[in-house]
């Protein structure tokens, strides 16, 4: 294993460096559509259409490679503030029978703005039977760290990532949703085995806490466990496997440092009772979007984990052995722009969204 030295808070820290950072192989980039304004999440409908969220508050439909000119009607009122707006979108695991589409978004309420989650059914180009399932409390006027990725596990529970809203101590408060991962039944009910259900004053929806701003989440197809990644501050981007009741440390422990000054944050990089990351980046890559690949389109990539990078404008490929990252590869450097989301399509190709004023949906095809 190779290591690279980084100066963190005045201390010289050795960080592991895995594998090649070369763009290998020379992937073909097929542009499915462009003209999307800061797209954030996508979902593949069984009929071949693709739903894409735009952060300014529009849900778009791509049909046979064409972006339909009119957005879907019937969304709830969305607060577009800083990093907030219309964010993730996923289908219910039993979508073909029940038709439920789930989406996360920023919404106004008492005290300011916060992440909310709703579900609805799509009829033509309109959402109907809208149900609000979750509201972050308390709300504030901050414009950052909304989190907002959505994933269903094999048991049908819905997981929601929430950022600390730019207020670090909130991530350690169990009476506050901010900086946590939420677990709910598909209809918004709180599961009877949620870890803090019987703890006085705790928010009962919380499944894990101590998170800064998780913007990637995926279900590992080999184990059925939920993985997330989250943004660190100028270092310390993390990958974690979510466990019931676990504290992931932010802002008490972190491998990141304060912006500008480079001064330490919290109490160091580890503390008893707080989880260590499965993997971390120093410096930050600004991760967003995450997907496990379990198909056969790309030779040698089965079982790999893919993470988009906003800062370095690339796609990270991580080779795994069980729950351990053994090698990192960096692909598509500066070929696409800021990669916001990463998904595996029903055709087993990787699909990416770019976070730009003129954002794109692209498909990656191996070289012939």
Place of tokens 């849900």: 59
Q: Which helix (H) or strand (E) holds 95?
A: helix 95-98
Q: Could you tell me the strand order of the sheet in which 158-161 lies?
A: 150-152, 158-161, 180-184, 206-209
Strands 339-344 and 28-36: unpaired
Instruction: Look at the block and give the residue holding tokens 């080999």.
Output: 222
145 is catalytic: yes
* Contact status, residue 182 vs residue 134, Cβ threshold 8 Å: yes
Q: In 3-state terms, what secondary structure has residue 170?
A: helix
CB-count burial class (<10 Å; 0-12, 13-18, 19+) for 367 = exposed
Burial state string for 167-185 with b = 16 or more CB within 10 A and e = fewer than 16:
bbebbbbbebbbbbbbbbe
The answer to whether 281 and 237 have CB atoms below 8 angstroms apart is yes
25: cis peptide before it, omega within 30°? yes
Sign of torsion over alpha carbons 79, 84, 86, 90: negative
Q: Is the peptide bond before 31 cis (omega within 30 degrees of 0)?
A: no
DSSP string for 135-168:
E-SS-BS--S-----EEE-TT--EEEE---TT-G
List 145, 177, 211, 229, catalytic entry: 145
For 163, the token pair is 């950022």
Q: Which two tokens stand for residue 360?
A: 């794109």
Using only the alpha carbons of the chain, give its radius of gyration.
Answer: 19
Chain centre to alpha carbon of residue 271: 26
**Both structure tokens of 274:** 């707080």
Query: 3-class DSSP state for residue 96?
Result: helix
> Catalytic residue numbers?
145
């Amino acid at each position: 294993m190779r290591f690279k030295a980084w100066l963190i808070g005045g201390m010289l820290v050795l960080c592991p460096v895995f594998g090649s950072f070369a763009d290998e192989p020379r992937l073909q980039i097929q542009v499915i559509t462009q003209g999307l304004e800061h797209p954030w999440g996508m979902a593949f409908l069984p009929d071949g259409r693709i739903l894409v969220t735009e952060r300014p508050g529009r849900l778009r439909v791509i049909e046979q490679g064409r972006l339909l000119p009119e957005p879907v009607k019937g969304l709830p009122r969305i607060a577009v503030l800083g990093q907030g707006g219309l964010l993730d979108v996923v289908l219910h695991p039993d979508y073909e029978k029940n038709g439920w589409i789930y989406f996360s978004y920023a919404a106004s309420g008492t005290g300011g703005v916060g992440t909310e989650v709703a579900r609805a059914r799509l009829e033509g180009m309109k959402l109907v039977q809208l149900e609000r399932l979750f509201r972050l409390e308390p709300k504030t006027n901050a414009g950052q760290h909304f989190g907002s990725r959505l994933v269903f596990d094999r048991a049908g529970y819905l997981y929601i990532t929430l950022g600390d809203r730019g207020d670090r101590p909130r991530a350690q408060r169990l009476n506050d949703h901010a900086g946590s991962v939420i677990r709910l039944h598909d209809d918004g009910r709180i599961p009877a085995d949620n870890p803090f259900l019987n703890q006085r004053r705790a928010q009962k929806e919380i499944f894990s806490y101590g998170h800064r701003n998780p913007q990637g989440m995926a279900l590992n197809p080999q184990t059925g466990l939920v993985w997330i990644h989250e943004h660190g501050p100028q270092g310390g981007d993390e990958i974690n496997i979510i466990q019931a009741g676990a504290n992931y440390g932010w802002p008490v422990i972190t491998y990141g440092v304060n912006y500008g000054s480079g001064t330490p944050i919290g109490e160091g990089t580890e503390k008893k009772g707080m989880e260590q990351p499965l993997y971390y980046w120093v410096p930050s890559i600004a991760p967003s979007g995450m997907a496990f690949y379990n198909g056969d389109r790309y030779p040698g990539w089965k079982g790999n984990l893919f993470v988009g990078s906003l800062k370095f404008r690339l796609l990270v490929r991580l080779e795994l052995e069980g729950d351990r990252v053994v090698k990192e590869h960096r692909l598509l450097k500066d070929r696409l722009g800021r990669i916001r989301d990463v998904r595996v399509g029903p055709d087993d190709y990787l699909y990416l969204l770019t976070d730009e004023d003129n954002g794109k949906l692209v498909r990656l095809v191996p070289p012939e």
